[in-house]
Chains A and B, each alone.
Chain A
Amino acid sequence: MFRPYTEKEKAKLAEKYTPAQRAVIDVGEEAVTNKHLAYQASARQNHWSLKYYDDLSKIDPVVDHPVRAPYSNTDPNLRLKTDDDLDEDLANFIRNLPENEDSPEADEAWTEFDKKLRLTVGKEEGERNPRSAAAPDLFRPGEANLDGKILRLPSTESKGRTEEAPPALLRLMQMTGFTREQIIALRVKSIVDHRVVNQTRLGKIGKMYYLSVAGNGNGLLGIGEGKSEEPGEARLQSQYRAIRNMQPILRYEGRTIFGDVKGKVSATELELYARPPGFGLRCQQYIWEICKCAGIADLAARVTRSRNPMNTVKATVEALLSQKDPEEIARARGKKMVDVRKVYYAGLV
């Protein structure tokens, strides 16, 4: 029902789509009928129809995609020009000078050059209209050079090598959306293992128990338990469960926790304490492993009462998950909150 493509259009389409994609597009376009178009063009009548009129095919710059003024003039990559850069500027100026050097145009060109000469390389507003050093700008998440400090969730696309993966791994990949490479890149540790026995009337049935912890070293953390007659199988089971259970935890400045938190599982009670940069992990082995997986670098911990390894691990994860976001607390109380450290270091902490 559409006008057929001309040869010119076909050639253009061939640049963008593979023959297979073209075939699909052709079939799709053939399937569209007048009825569909009429239905699409009319207003929706069903339950989800909008209560007001809006042409959703157009983007309203005010409502849909507000164009905002730049957040800050500050450019993290701003640097002073070297002597060579300045020489280059001067050479450019001389090259573009009018022929008659005493003419008023030449004078004007010089004034212009003198006025517009920049001493730094980078964002122009950063030099012309900088913020006071006493109250530097805050950066937006993407603006500053904070490589690796922002929590990045894995992309859901998977590619390559899926055929060769063993079934258990394949299922894990399907469940989590991680690729095989991403799973390999995770930090996974089995930290508790022992033999467990079930006494039946036929005798003792022994199995191996494993407790594993997994994390991406950047804010994702999960634990998993596995039990099987085969140690290798139990270990793998626990590790895959740990990967599957991974969830984001709050981290202050990507290195420590927000305030002190408590965790309790059974008779194991523990306290985790936030610590300043460079403090390191001063805690017992199990908590240390968990912090390594989660990407926490500064922390102290005290396990009061029972120190059962399994419960310690569980209580630590519980404590880390029980952290509260100060922003949320501030919103709940209707207060404005400013992280003074962030302001002092201009968001570069």
Chain B
Amino acid sequence: MSLVLLANTCSHLQNASKARLGLTSIPSTSLHLRLALALQNAGFLSTVVRGGQAPPPPHLLLNHPTPNNEAAEIEPVTQENVASRRLWLGMKYWNSEPVIEKMQMVSKPTRRIWMDTEGLSTLVLGRQSGYVKGLRRPGECLFVTTDKGVMEARECVEKKIGGMLLCRVY
């Protein structure tokens, strides 16, 4: 599980927001997929669709790619095409402002940070825990990869599970 790709993804999503892109793609890995779904769950992304090098065709009615598009079924991942698969993410904007303003890594490829529930709850309350700054901006989210999947720090505290800190988004 390389974090270098994730760091690239964070920068890429920031850049895509600044460029006001409606749809963008990131390399398809299981970590990326889980993080993208967590981002979508938190309302940062509108759609997450697995596709190839070209963007998947838009849904007839919704006008953007969807995972359950009956007109264009998603190609199943096979050993032949796995390297060319990409995740196509729908970016969100509100009042001419991107919803993802900033997306930064907390763990780094050379220094991963794990945290237990106690530490996470301190962060969620807006206080510093270890070397990690608390969530002090309105709407700031921290995504954590746990053995129950990638989830938001607040959800981790609720479920009393710790994990490795991935990135903070606001």
Contact = CB atoms under 8 A, between A and B. Distances in A.
Interface string A318-335: 000000111011111111
Contact of A333 (B43, B95, B136, B137): B43
A330 B136 contact: no
A259 interface: yes
Contact of A330 (B44, B97, B139): B139
Contacts of B93: 332
Contacts of A260: 136-137
A331 B137 contact: no
A326 B43 contact: no
B92 interface: yes
A324 B138 contact: yes
A324 B139 contact: yes
A324 B136 CA distance: 12
B92 A259 contact: no
A332 B92 contact: yes
B107 to A, nearest CB: 22
Main secondary structure of the interface of A (DSSP, over half): mixed
B59 to A, nearest CB: 18
Contacts, number: 38
A329 B140 CA distance: 10
B94 interface: yes
A259 B43 contact: no
A258 interface: yes
Contacts of A332: 43, 92-95, 97, 99
A238 B95 CA distance: 33
B142 to A, nearest CB: 14
Interface centre among B44, B95, B137 (most CB of A within 10 A): B137
A270 to B, nearest CB: 15
Interface in B115-140: 136-140
A142 B138 CA distance: 26
Nearest to A260: B136
Contacts of A330: 139
Contacts of A329: 138-139
Contacts of B137: 259-261, 324
B92 to A, nearest CB: 7
Interface string B78-105: 0000000000000011110101000000
B42 interface: yes
A326 B138 contact: yes
A335 B43 contact: yes
A335 B43 CA distance: 7
Contact of B95 (A261, A274, A326, A328): A328
Contacts of B43: 332-335
Nearest to A330: B139
Contact of B139 (A261, A273, A333, A334): A333
A130 B138 CA distance: 33
Nearest to B99: A332
Interface string A173-210: 00000000000000000000000000000000000000
A258 B138 contact: yes
Contacts of A259: 136-138, 140
A10 B97 CA distance: 59
A335 B140 CA distance: 13
Interface of B: 42-44, 92-95, 97, 99, 136-140
Interface of A: 258-261, 273-274, 324-326, 328-335
Among all A-B residue pairs, the 7 with the closest Cβ atoms: A333-B43, A332-B94, A329-B139, A326-B138, A259-B138, A259-B137, A260-B136
Given A326-B139, A333-B42, A333-B43, 16 more contacts: A259-B136, A259-B137, A259-B138, A260-B137, A261-B137, A324-B137, A325-B138, A326-B138, A328-B94, A329-B139, A331-B94, A332-B93, A332-B95, A332-B99, A335-B42, A335-B43
17 contacts: A259-B136, A259-B137, A260-B136, A324-B138, A324-B139, A325-B138, A326-B139, A331-B94, A332-B43, A332-B93, A332-B95, A332-B97, A332-B99, A333-B42, A333-B44, A333-B99, A334-B43
